[in-house]
Amino acid sequence: MIHGHPVALRVVERSGDRIVSSTPFASVAQDAASILDTVPEAYVCLDSEFRFTLLNRARERLLGESRAHLLGKVFWEVYPALVGTRFGENCRRAMTERVPVACEDYDEASQRWYAFTATPDSDGGIVVRTVDITGRKRPGAAPTGEAVGFDQRAEERTGKPPTRQRSVSRLQHSLLAAAPLEDKLQTVADAIVRLFDADFCRIWLIRPGDLCERGCIHAEVHDGPDVCRRRDRCLHLLASSGRYTHIDGSAHRRVPYGCYKIGRVASEEEPKFVGNDVQNDPGVHDHAWARELGLVSFAGYQLRTPGEETLGVLALFAKHPILADEDALLDGLGSTVALLVKRAAAEESLARRTEELARSNYSLSESQRIAHVGSWSMEVPIGATACTWTPETYRLFGVSPDTFVPTAEMFQGLIHPDDRAAMQAWIGACLAGEEPPDLEFRVGLRDGSVRYILGRGHLVRNAENQPIRMVGIAQDITERKRAEERLKTALADLGRSNKDLEQFAYVASHDLQEPLRMVSSYTQLLARRYQGQLDAAANKFIGYAVDGANRMQRLIEDLLAYSRVGTRAKGFGSTDCTAVLEQALANLKAAIENSGAVVTHGPLPAVVHDNLLLAQLFQNLIGNAIKFHVEMPPRIHVSAGQKGDAWVFAVRDNGIGIDPQYADRIFTIFQRLHTNEEYAGTGIGLAICKKIVERRGGRIWVESQPGSGSTFYLTVPMGGDGV
């Protein structure tokens, strides 16, 4: 690795002759750092996880990377292209086998030779020393140590570093650039065919078996060793180069995990398989085919990064044997491809998450806007940093995210002065983890208006149970508050006007009684005294006057009775309905006798009520039942039954009946369905009944048809003791 660029290295292993030191560098790293800064050789220390623990100045210069940037980082993550190279493998060997290793390399970019040593230290890590040895090299000289295969031959011919190695290295560089994964895999397959003279090369990745049920040819195999048993781990062909270039044909488009040569390379413990006798290899499916094509070798490499699951397989067939150094380069390429696949998966998952986040952010902010609910979070301790508000929270508080910074202090400034103390106390309770009830508070807006907000907050703690932030919501409840206020005012107005009306009705009817009695008694006196002395017309007029006075008296009495229902103190107690009914019937004695009415009743309960009011109720209903009769004598039946937690009374008659369209109207004061000539009355009776029933929380209604009689129903809620 030179000038910060990873290059493939050719390694020559030697044992023990050029050991830097076995001193535990990491343990004396602090002291060593300053000493090492003064030496010209480049040193780097890696801990047992391959993390940079120390770099001296010379190394910094060589890499062109600052210490601050590298310290603590994992070597393989900074230089992924070195995974699987011989340099990488030797560093790994020094680390795991705890033996010193050495190698030399030529850096194309700087045109210099370097010697590397990797030495285990006593803390479980290694120390890598790099020395510039260009001066010791003659131009065209071969690197020291034992060279193998193609590379050495090339080097001996040209006196240059190996071209294939360089090409592989360049390829690894180019793969780091941004491009779709499929393109990169195809590039690798093409390069392998070209550089290693392969007959064909293919790359499969492990993915869920999308087409196993129908599309996969291996789904047809029902028994034997090649039955697919891992449909979640199917090998998908992603790149193909050389003799076969299609990836969507029927053959080998999918290979079952654990089946055939490829599937077995993927599933077996051994991370690779290299064989130079495919025509006789029992693992190769079709020997005739291999012979026909003249194939000699097969190499398959698991795509995986150290310690992790296999991601796929890179495989090639060639018409020549695969040599050791070729195998090493291919192995390195397999590791590079594994990193590419991993990176693509991470990028894809990041992109997916980013998109999901954007989508859920959008729905959150839309639903917050529609519901007028904002959310917020505040780091603990509060005051130090600004709170996080959603757009709707800014809108609720009447400020813009461009101009307003939502610190705790600025937030207090938005709150109505009268509500600030309550807000302080509420935040204090939230911070103490008390989960206080929701807080209603006001916010003064720029235009001078006030917005009502309902706040809810909750303290979030970390794994150590330490409070880390407060989160919550703010809901605009201005509309609800205004409606509540309007309702309260309307109810107060209604109560007042009802009281005024009752007072008026009472005073008017009470005070009118006296002059009316005078008018009535004097007209009666007039009638008695001058009977026969006046002409017929005068007699008729006196008759009208007496009748009018009587009617007015009834009206005033009824009005007085109506107003008394409201003003009478609530004297509710246990009331025996049979006794109350008898009282009402006694009051109606004359009317019952005159009409020949028959009034019957079923068993009646005791209820919680005012017995005088209840008697008046029965009297009015039975009185009407008698009054609105047909030719035959009235038959009236009173009954009661229990429904839910109320008593339901029914007063049924066989009278003229009522058109259902007037069923509600008749309970309104002064509403009558007949003239006074047809049926005498004031139109107040049923209004009194309604008021009595409602006073005790009940309901009254009628069911009737003209000519079929009527049934009046009323309910009396049961009292606490079941009556």
List of residues contacting ligand ADP (CB under 6 A):
624-625, 628, 653, 655-656, 658, 666, 672-674, 681-687, 710
The answer to whether residues 161 and 149 touch, using CB atoms and an 8 Å cutoff, is no
| Residue 226, CA distances (Å) to 193, 212, 213, 255, 258 in order | 28, 14, 15, 10, 8
Q: By C-alpha distance, which of 181, 179, 194, 306 is closest to 236?
A: 181
Q: Which is nearer to ligand ADP, 81 or 658 (CB)?
A: 658
Q: Which is nearer to ligand ADP, 134 or 676 (CB)?
A: 676
Tell me how far, at minimum, the Cβ of 558 lies from ligand ADP, in Å. 8
Tell me how far, at minimum, the Cβ of 602 lies from ligand ADP, in Å. 19
Question: Residue 146: phi, psi to the nearest 5?
Answer: -85, 125
Query: What is the number of other CB atoms lying within 10 angstroms of the CB of residue 589?
Result: 9
Three-state SS at 465? coil
Tell me how far, at minimum, the Cβ of 682 lies from ligand ADP, in Å. 5
Three-state SS at 124? coil
Tell me how far, at minimum, the Cβ of 623 lies from ligand ADP, in Å. 8
3-class secondary structure for 286-333? CHHHHHHHCCCEEEEEEECCCCCCCCEEEEEEECCCCCHHHHHHHHHH
Q: By C-alpha distance, which of 6, 3, 5, 10 is closest to 106?
A: 10
| Residue 235, CA distances (Å) to 182, 254, 661 in order | 15, 5, 79
Q: Which is nearer to ligand ADP, 50 or 667 (CB)?
A: 667
Tell me how far, at minimum, the Cβ of 680 lies from ligand ADP, in Å. 8
Question: Rounded distance, CA 246 to CA 240, Å?
Answer: 6
Tell me how far, at minimum, the Cβ of 625 lies from ligand ADP, in Å. 5
Strands 635-643 and 598-601: parallel
Tell me how far, at minimum, the Cβ of 622 lies from ligand ADP, in Å. 9
Query: What is the number of other CB atoms lying within 10 angstroms of the CB of residue 75?
Result: 22
Tell me how far, at minimum, the Cβ of 566 lies from ligand ADP, in Å. 17
The answer to whether residues 649 and 640 touch, using CB atoms and an 8 Å cutoff, is yes
Tell me how far, at minimum, the Cβ of 478 lies from ligand ADP, in Å. 45
Q: Which is nearer to ligand ADP, 95 or 651 (CB)?
A: 651
Q: By C-alpha distance, which of 602, 611, 641, 606 is closest to 722?
A: 606
The answer to whether residues 578 and 616 touch, using CB atoms and an 8 Å cutoff, is no
Q: Which is nearer to ligand ADP, 239 or 684 (CB)?
A: 684
Tell me how far, at minimum, the Cβ of 561 lies from ligand ADP, in Å. 12
Residue environment code for 86-95, b if the CB has 16+ CB neighbours within 10 A, otherwise e: bbbbbbbbbb
Tell me how far, at minimum, the Cβ of 696 lies from ligand ADP, in Å. 19
Q: Which is nearer to ligand ADP, 410 or 673 (CB)?
A: 673
Q: Which is nearer to ligand ADP, 475 or 616 (CB)?
A: 616
**Residue recorded with tokens 């990028």:** 347
Helix-helix angle 86-97:324-371, to 10 degrees: 90
Q: Which is nearer to ligand ADP, 76 or 628 (CB)?
A: 628
Distance of CA 19 to the CA centre of its chain: 60
| Long-range contacts at 525-534 (CB < 8 A, ≥ 24 apart) | none
Tell me how far, at minimum, the Cβ of 578 lies from ligand ADP, in Å. 22
Q: Which is nearer to ligand ADP, 330 or 625 (CB)?
A: 625
Q: Which is nearer to ligand ADP, 326 or 653 (CB)?
A: 653
The answer to whether residues 440 and 453 touch, using CB atoms and an 8 Å cutoff, is yes
Q: Which is nearer to ligand ADP, 37 or 703 (CB)?
A: 703
Q: Which is nearer to ligand ADP, 54 or 656 (CB)?
A: 656
Question: Rounded distance, CA 586 to CA 578, Å?
Answer: 12
